[in-house]
Amino acid sequence: MAFKVISTDDISKVTKQKDQFIIEDSGQTYFDKSTTIRLKLNDIPNILQDITYMELKDLKTQDNLIPGMLYKIIDYKTIYKQPVTNIIMGEYDSDCPSIIEPLILIATSTNTFDCKVFSFMHPKDEIWYDIENDTSKYDWAVANGYGVIYRRIDINNNDIPYDHKNIRFRRYQIDYNSVTQWNSANTYSKNAIVRNSGTSNYIIYMAHQSVPINENPTVSNSTYWQPIFTSCNTDFMVSNNLTIPISIPILDTNYNDFYTFDDHTGVDVSLYPNVNTNKIANNIQLSKKYLNDTVFLSNINPVVKNNSFDVGCTNNSFTGYVINNVIGSEFIDNICYSNFINNKIDNNYTNNIIGSTFDNNVIGNKFQNNIIGSEFTNNIIGSEFIYNIVNYSMRINKIGINVNYNSFNLYFINNTIGNTIYDNIINSFNSNNIIGNDVYGIITGSGFKNNQLGNSIYSINLANNFSNNVIQNDVHDIDMTGYTNLYTNSATITICKRTDHMVLSWWFNNLNQIEIEEIPEI
């Protein structure tokens, strides 16, 4: 069944203009299925009946609907249980009152309706509606509601599995003052969380390696600290207390309620020209539908378009441009700051905190519990990239599967990494390295470039400017920070392990002779 109004977008205007109301291909009792029927306005009262929701429910319960009759629910509004808070919203005295939006339903029998309905306020929207308040079918349904809109495609082709023009989701400020204040006299372990020494910038930092005394987190491009929340006094991005990947409580008295597409002030922007062609699939668990609880926030020129989210997308917050992303199932509990563009993401992308400029990445299954700074772009990442900390500018890398608990500091660019890489600390300005499989416990200095690392390499310390070298398979448990030849020699140095477990470094000198140096295991 389709409804169409000629020459206007509002039936209320049709009455004034004495125009025509067209009902196309209804297939019901009153209309010839093979033709389009044009009804003059004085005929409409014979098939369109104004009625309250409760009156219509009574007709349905008593099997007194007239097949083919149009019923206009004059008092429809979206009443819903807000996720997380479980507060009933939509009534005029709630935090988030819904507007009254008359809906036209067509009876298909004496006790059933067509699932598609027509809105007087938004006549070009496609709307799927269930007159029952079935809480076993819709988690957000309310027993004394007015039925449930369970899918809405608006004029901008935003296809959302609930009434995104009325339903709002709550987001809180982080409790900045509950975070430990940085102290210059203290050392900090990896993953420590601190706030700056004052309240001027409201930034929260995370240590991506052990931190000695006097390493101020406010220093630009710190080799120890990474900013993870940069506007704690103005951001409303969190729906509940953070527990993964970090633990920070919320200020439960400081919150805003946002539409799915919002200008960051509680105004729906779904009709803005650059908010279009977004599809979010149903969030279904054990045959019950849940609200997706996902918001796209932008207070200046919102651009959210051409995005697709598969089933199980829930509890996410975005700011800035979100464009041309194809995202698999179970996209859950993510905080994504400005510019999330052109990514192809597989399933189980969960509990990540993403900085600005996350663009042009291809990501496999289980990208989870990571803290990603700015400029994460053009990477190809396999499955199980979990509990990693990335500071600034991780670009053009090819990364294998099972890469966990690593810290990537500044400028990690154009590297190829194998499988099962974990618990490594890769410091600044690292590029053009090829790293094999089963590599863990490596600590590099800055300037780690143009190296080749084999398989089964672990527990190695490297100083700054380790470049153009080869570490062969099965080298482990060595500290190479004090071997100056590894950092000052212009020749390519190969590090290998003999059968007697002695580790050797060798290279060709200027006379084309092999020089060898022993490196004892630690």
What pLDDT digit, counting tens, does each position of 318-370 carry? 998 999 999 999 999 999 998 999 999 999 999 999 999 999 999 999 999 99
406-464 pLDDT, tens digit per residue, is 999 999 999 999 999 999 999 988 999 999 999 999 999 889 999 999 999 999 999 89
Record the tokens describing residue 491, joined without a space. 């020749």
Q: Would you say 104 and 127 are in contact if contact means Cβ atoms under 8 Å apart?
A: no
Listed residue (333, 329, 360) closest to 346, CA to CA? 329
Higher pLDDT, 12 or 295: 295
Is the pLDDT reported for residue 246 higher than 90? no
* Structure confidence at residue 412 (pLDDT): 95
Distance CA(338)–CA(187), nearest Å, equals: 32
Question: Taking residues 264-273, what's their average pLDDT?
Answer: 94
Residue 388, pLDDT above cutoff 80: yes
Closest to 147 in 3D by CA, of 162, 169, 165: 162
| Pair type for strands 335-336 and 316-319 | parallel
The listed range with the strongest mean pLDDT (173-182, 196-205, 238-247, 358-367) is: 358-367
Average pLDDT over residues 258-285: 95
pLDDT of residue 287: 85
Q: How far is Cα 402 from Cα 422, in angstroms, rounded to an integer?
A: 8
CA–CA gap between residue 372 and residue 376 (Å, rounded)? 7
C-beta separation of 207 from 349 below 8 A: no
Burial (CB < 10 A; 0-12, 13-18, 19+), residue 45, is exposed
pLDDT for 500: 78
Q: Give percent helix, percent strand, percent coil of the chain, each to the nearest 5.
A: 5, 40, 55
The position carrying tokens 């200008």 is 263
pTM of the model: 0.88
- pLDDT at position 232 over 90: no
Query: Which are the contacts of 410, defined by CB distance < 8 A and separation ≥ 6?
Result: 221, 223, 391, 392, 393, 427, 428, 429, 446
Look at residues 13, 16, 11 and name the one whose alpha carbon lies nearest to residue 74: 11
Task: Report pLDDT for 198.
Answer: 63
* Res. 520 pLDDT band, cuts 50 70 90: confident
Tens-place pLDDT, residues 7-65: 333 333 333 233 334 444 333 333 333 333 344 434 555 588 999 999 999 999 999 99
pLDDT band, very low/low/confident/very high, at 484 (cuts 50, 70, 90): confident
Mean pLDDT of 204-212: 91
Asked if 77 and 100 touch (Cβ cutoff 8 Å), the reply is yes
Q: Which of 63, 54, 148, 153 lies closest to 107, judged by CA?
A: 63
Mean of pLDDT over the chain? 88
Average pLDDT (131-158) is 97
Give how far Cα 412 sits from Cα of 375, 409, 422, 433, Å: 10, 7, 16, 10
List, in sequence order, the alpha helices (H) in 46-197. 53-61
- 425-463 exposure pattern, b = at least 16 Cβ within 10 A, e = fewer: bbbbbbbebebbbbbbebbbbbbbbebbbbebbbbbbbb
Q: Which residues pair with 302 in a beta bridge?
A: none
Residue with the larger pLDDT of the pair 243 and 20: 243
* pLDDT score of 44: 52
